[in-house]
Amino acid sequence: MGRAGFVAGNWKMHGSLVRNQELLDAVVSGTRSLQNVSCVVCVPYPYIAQTQSVLEGSHVLWGGQNVSQYHHGAYTGEVSADMLADLGCRYVIVGHSERRTLFGEGNQVVAEKFRAAQEHSITPILCVGETLAQRESDETEQVIAMQLDAVIDLAGIEALGQSVIAYEPVWAIGTGKTATPEIAQSVHAHIRAYLAGFSADVAAKVQILYGGSVTGATAAELFGQADIDGGLVGGASLKPEDFAQIIAGAKQ
């Protein structure tokens, strides 16, 4: 059975009550006729309640951009998976490269966040990908294997099969540089082949998104590749027309 298309928007640290309302209304109307494509917006914590109230009952789901690895307690400033679930979040991004590089999240912490999300029935969108220096020294496959291994070791391969993976080459995030469809497809195929070494079933069913400067103009060709099931979209998810075009490019 084919994998359904999936498009997730990552608003990063952008938004305001007024601006969000316009954006969410546009996403709802742009997805009315969608079938067999999941669409999710991952918004800043303070706007999750607003997002829930606008999206409830629509085709669009919502989620967080980060989650604590802890469940509750004296962790000032943290937000638990339980709290995200309380606000109807069905997805959460874990291991985004901005979290890894700017906030020092290593593979082990990312794996713990992944597990915490699943313990509260939230599907993690696990980001993996190499920096430019790692690509240039031919370490892409090794880096991604280590990122995946940390999750497989802690949560197990079947748990990975209950997640969404986003391949996000760090050099393409927010830079305007998109990996060519061929480069992206070859890494996606590698990820699937790597997972097949643990479980053919998981490798075949897990949705693998591409992320890195996807726009309305580049989405359809990227998503047309055999192992690319959709996208994780930053900047363009804040532009209603671009985002609608990206969603329209997803496999139905």
- Which of 98, 105, 130, 168 is labelled catalytic? 168
Q: How many CB atoms lie within 10 A of CB 13?
A: 7
Of positions 30, 129, 212, 216, contacts ligand PEP by CB under 6 A: 212
Q: Which of 78, 148, 150, 160 is nearest to 118 (CA)?
A: 160
Smaller CB separation from ligand PEP, 5 or 212:
212
Of positions 233, 246, 248, 250, contacts ligand PEP by CB under 6 A: 233
Residue 234 beta carbon to ligand PEP: minimum distance, rounded to whole angstroms:
2
Residue 181 beta carbon to ligand PEP: minimum distance, rounded to whole angstroms:
16
Q: Which of 176, 250, 169, 177 is nearest to 211 (CA)?
A: 169
Of positions 106, 174, 197, 224, contacts ligand PEP by CB under 6 A: 174
Residue 157 beta carbon to ligand PEP: minimum distance, rounded to whole angstroms:
24
Residue 203 beta carbon to ligand PEP: minimum distance, rounded to whole angstroms:
23
Smaller CB separation from ligand PEP, 173 or 250:
173
59 flagged as catalytic: no
Q: How many CB atoms lie within 10 A of CB 2?
A: 8
User: Measured between alpha carbons, how far is 208 from 2 in angstroms, rounded to an integer?
Assistant: 13
**Measuring CA to CA, how many Å separate 38 from each of 27, 41, 143, 190, 247?**
12, 10, 28, 24, 9
Residue 73 beta carbon to ligand PEP: minimum distance, rounded to whole angstroms:
29
Are the C-beta atoms of 121 and 152 separated by less than 8 Å? no
Residue 245 lies near ligand PEP (rule: CB under 6 A)? no
96 flagged as catalytic: yes
- Helix intervals (H) in the chain: 17-30, 48-55, 81-86, 97-102, 107-119, 132-136, 140-155, 157-160, 181-196, 200-205, 219-223, 240-248
User: Side chain identity at 63, as an amino acid letter?
Assistant: G
Mask for 124-163, x = binds ligand PEP (CB under 6 A): ----------------------------------------
- Left (φ > 0), alpha (ψ -120 to 50) or beta: where does 143 sit? alpha
Residue 42 lies near ligand PEP (rule: CB under 6 A)? no
Are the C-beta atoms of 84 and 67 separated by less than 8 Å? yes
Of positions 105, 112, 130, 168, contacts ligand PEP by CB under 6 A: 168
Q: Of 32-40, 114-122, 189-197, 228-236, which segment contacts ligand PEP by CB under 6 A?
A: 228-236
Smaller CB separation from ligand PEP, 15 or 235:
235
Residue 249 lies near ligand PEP (rule: CB under 6 A)? no
Q: Got the DSSP string for 39-70?
A: EEEE--GGGHHHHHHHHTTSSEEEEES---SS
Under the rule (CB under 6 A), what is the footprint of ligand PEP? 10, 12, 96, 168, 173-174, 211-214, 232-236
Active centre residues (catalytic): 96, 168
